[in-house]
Amino acid sequence: MSAEPRINDRIRVPEVRLVGPNGEQVGIVPIAKALEIARESDLDLVEVAPTARPPVARLMDYGKFKYESAMKAREARKNQAHTVIKEIKLRPKIDPHDYETKKGHVVRFLKAGDKVKVTIMFRGREQSRPELGYRLLQRLADDVEDLGFVESRPKQDGRNMIMVIGPHKKKTARGQEAETTA
């Protein structure tokens, strides 16, 4: 069965509850009379509630209705937020300067509104010290807490420890005004 509603001659019931073009109730009428009313008013008879007893049919310009619903769907897709996840990889024994560089990347990604997946890779004997990685992730989360929040806590995944940091929601104009006046 298709998702398209049945229109005009495809409606195969003896009578329908007819709704006019402006939403007014016409009443329960035989299908032949409903089709005749649709032809006279130069509109289509569209079955809007096929499971009702009797089914509900409406008089409308079906082509215009399909076009408008396609435009609404297109507009909704255009306004959708696209979430991008950026990934940063670290090692537990990272040099302080390298840490600052990686932290700068995380800050840049969060300012751009992207999520950041921080991965710590353990090798060899480092695997027996996961608390080093956990402390490093906590330090990073504390350093960037004004830009983002921890979306998923650090968790061990084989040789890696993973944490996801998401950006804070953008402040509204009213929220920024309240901060400047306070």
Q: Where are the alpha helices (DSSP H) in the chain?
A: 31-40, 62-78, 96-111, 130-143, 173-181
The per-residue pLDDT for 176 is 47
Amino acid letter at 147?
Answer: L
Q: Is the pLDDT of residue 27 over 60?
A: yes
Q: What is the mean pLDDT of residues 81-109?
A: 91
Average pLDDT, the chain: 85
90 close to 118: Cβ distance less than 8 angstroms: yes
Cα–Cα–Cα angle for 125, 128, 139, rounded to 5 degrees: 105
Which of 20-24, 81-85, 134-138, 168-172 reaches the highest mean pLDDT?
134-138
Q: Is the pLDDT of residue 174 over 60?
A: no
pTM over 0.75: no
> How crowded is the C-beta side of 160, counted as CA atoms within 13 Å?
11
C-alpha torsion 131→119→140→135, nearest 10:
0
